[in-house]
Structures are given as structure tokens and as C-alpha cells.
Amino acid sequence: MSPSVSFLVVIMKKILYIHGYNSSSESRTAQVLLAHLGEGFELIHPTFSNDPEEAIPMARRIIREEGVDMVVATSLGGFVALSLRGIPKFVINPSVAPHLTLPNNGYDGDLSGFKRLSKVIWDDIDEAERTNTTGLFGLNDELFSYRDIFSTHYAHVIETEDSHHVLDETITDIVIPHIHSYFGK
């Protein structure tokens, strides 16, 4: 009689994190996600350009090549995420009109790409997009709030007492449980 062999197959869910303006792959949010997502999750968190015409194709390429299952994004990264279709998204204080807010935050680059894309991020939102996209909005966001326009296009809005930079506890107590719940973990 031959010995039996057992295999444990762990299916990793891949999460792409897209950081905000002038941030990086080593942002505080990325570090908290890395530390607390837990077993069965892989966080992909590259550094993105502030230029949406570079960041959006990069995000699409990573999603395709890495088999990403969900996107989590903050601020300007939320703008990039909201331009993506066909993937679940959790956006935190997303900027949806960066051409209006970036100049107030030290950005002196070309705003034409942001302006053009801010008109089309609301296009082609079908029922799957509407229900598979969640926005978290800090009620004390000192930079901007696009909660109202977001809620006219997407079904899931969460409000917290956070400022623009959410607390670690918001990530561990709200964002991560949402991700786990979405994947039935």
C-alpha cells in the first residue's frame, strides 16, 4: 500500500494598492495593509507616476499581468482606480477632479490629462461597476470631498471621522474587513 499524499492549495487574492499624490509604494497605508491583510492575500504596491496618462496604463498592465483581484486606492490613486473598469475597487478619499485640487497642493505640471479624464471617469459605469466599487470618505477631509458625486454613481459609501489621511485603525477596522468580506474570508 502506498502512502497517501495531501496537498494544500492556497489561492492568493491579489490586491493592487494605488497611492496618492507625491506618495510612494512605501506609504503608511501600504504598510498597514501589508501588516494586516493576512494569509491568503498578496499586496502589490508599486510607486506610480503623478501623471494619469502614465499611471492608468501602468495600473491596467499590472492588473492584466499579475491577475489582480481588487484595487485599493487613496486620493489621487482613487482617480486612477475610478478610471479602471471590470475590477472591484475600494477607494479612500478619492480625488475625482485633480485638475481643481492639485494646484492648491503644490502641483505645477500639466493639468490637461486630469481635466480630460475627470470628464470620462463617470462613463460606462454599469451595474457591476456600481455595486463592486466602495468609497470611504473622511468627514474631516481638509483637502476635498467628492462624496456627493461619488454616491450618485456608486452604491457603497462609508463615512468616517477621519481627515484626508485616514487613521491606521480605519484601515484595520473598516478597509481590511471589507476586503475579507468581499472575498468571503
pLDDT tens-digit map of 73-109:
999 999 999 999 999 999 999 999 999 999 888 888 8
Asked if the model's pLDDT at residue 13 lies above 70, the reply is yes
What pLDDT, on the 0 to 100 scale, is given for residue 104? Answer: 86
Higher-confidence position of 71 and 9: 71
The grid cell for 130 is 456600481
**Mean pLDDT in residue range 143-159:** 96
Q: What pTM, to 2 d.p., does this model score?
A: 0.92
Q: Note the pLDDT of residue 90.
A: 99
Q: For residue 67, is pLDDT > 60?
A: yes
Mean pLDDT value across residues 121-136? 95
CATH architecture of 13-182: 3-Layer(aba) Sandwich (3.40)
Percentage above 90 pLDDT, the chain: 83
pLDDT at 58 over 70: yes
pLDDT value of position 1: 56
Q: pLDDT at residue 149 above 90?
A: yes
What's the confidence (pLDDT) of residue 106? 84
Q: Domain-by-domain residue ranges, the chain? A: 13-182
